Structure 1
Amino acid sequence: MDRIAIIGSAGSGKSTLALQIAKLIDLPLYHLDRLFWKPGWVETPKPEFSLIVEEVAKKKQWIIDGNYSRTIDIRLEAADLIIFLDYSKHLCVFRALKRSMLHRNKNRPDITEGCKEKFDMEFYKWIWDFPNRNRDKIVLALSKLKEKKKIFVFKHPKELKKWIEKFPGNI
């Protein structure tokens, strides 16, 4: 297990899980938010971002957390292990609100320096709409890979907590 992709809605805990796993098995960690956002919340142009993700995905070992549907196929195809945090939109919005309050006007460790955390209604609407907009596409992509990849789908944080306590022995 050298390449781990962690996907799920914003606020699901992808970055937190990625940090936990990186500490347990010492793999290089790449946060897509850090690769995509430039200081001041400036977006990396989409073609450039796709090339960056392709280069990271070619590496021998990694953990990559994030969605960015434009590049999800690149990561899922390259991964040995895929973890989908398929949590309710209520939980994800709550967690994102809590995160924005905890880190308000500060940088999170999983984001580019110069991108201070802020309250953003457009972002919370994006989280709320995630299940309707993205979930079916993710489930379909995972169903096509289930014979070739190790895939874990967690519906609740308690399931993940039990799984991570036994990691990596449960793979």
Structure 2
Amino acid sequence: MSLNEPVKRVAIIGCGGSGKTTIGRRIAAALGTTITHLDAVYYDDEWNKLSQDKFAQIQHELVAADRWVIDGNYAGTLPIRLHRATHVIFLDLPATTCLWGIAQRRWRYRGGQHDNGVYDTINWGFIKYIWGYRKTMAPRVRTLLAEHGNDAQILIATSRRAANRLTDELERAAR
């Protein structure tokens, strides 16, 4: 893989359990910045949601920075991130891989709040979302990438191994 431009602003998208946070931490460290988890922005500690206007406003403020790493889906506000991103990582992993990822996360955090402010919430609706992500959400994400991601280098990983290779490359380029 050859990177077209310097790594400065990275949007990471993918199903729950796909590894967005792990990859985001690595890239943020290489860039000398912090990672923003959109779940921690969108939900408070009792899982109450922000209004869409406020959520969009916060993202406009976040992407105005020269360097950032933001992980999260939120297709409704994805164009905000795409318009400023230099690189987009789309983790389009199989449902079984993502379900294993959330099982590992559950084991690691034992439920409750992660160190990044995100709460570990696994319920039947979340499992169904993960199982159907590639059929329902992935096509929508691909459409948004095609419509709004023209100025970013789009990097798609369909396996953990491919995701790790992309991350290694981005880390080297960011330093």
Residue 21 of structure 2 is matched in structure 1 by: 15
Q: Give the AA of the match of 1:6.
A: I
- Residue 90 of structure 2 aligns to a residue whose secondary structure is strand
Residue 135 of structure 1 is matched in structure 2 by: 138
- Residue 4 of structure 1 aligns to a residue whose secondary structure is strand
RMSD: 1.9
Change (3 A) 1:166 1:81: closer
Pick one of 109, 112, 127 that aligns with 1:106.
112
Residue 164 of structure 1 is matched in structure 2 by: 167
Unaligned runs of 5+ in 2: 1-6
Q: Give the AA of the match of 1:47.
A: D
Residue 74 of structure 1 is matched in structure 2 by: 80
> What is the TM-score when the length of structure 1 is the normalising length?
0.88
> Pairwise mapping of residues 19-168 of structure 1 onto structure 2 (< 5 A)?
19-112=25-118, 115=119, 117-144=120-147, 147-168=150-171
> What is the TM-score when the length of structure 2 is the normalising length?
0.86
Structure 2 CA distance for aligned equivalents of residues 148 and 48 of structure 1: 25
Give aligned-pair identity as a percent. 26
Q: Is the 8 A contact 1:33 1:110 kept in 2?
A: no
Change (3 A) 1:148 1:167: closer
2:6 pairs with 1:3: no
Structure 1 runs (4+) greater than 6 angstroms displaced:
none
Q: Is the 8 A contact 1:7 1:67 kept in 2?
A: yes
Unaligned runs of 5+ in 1: none
Aligned residue pairs total 168
Shift of 1:135: 0.7
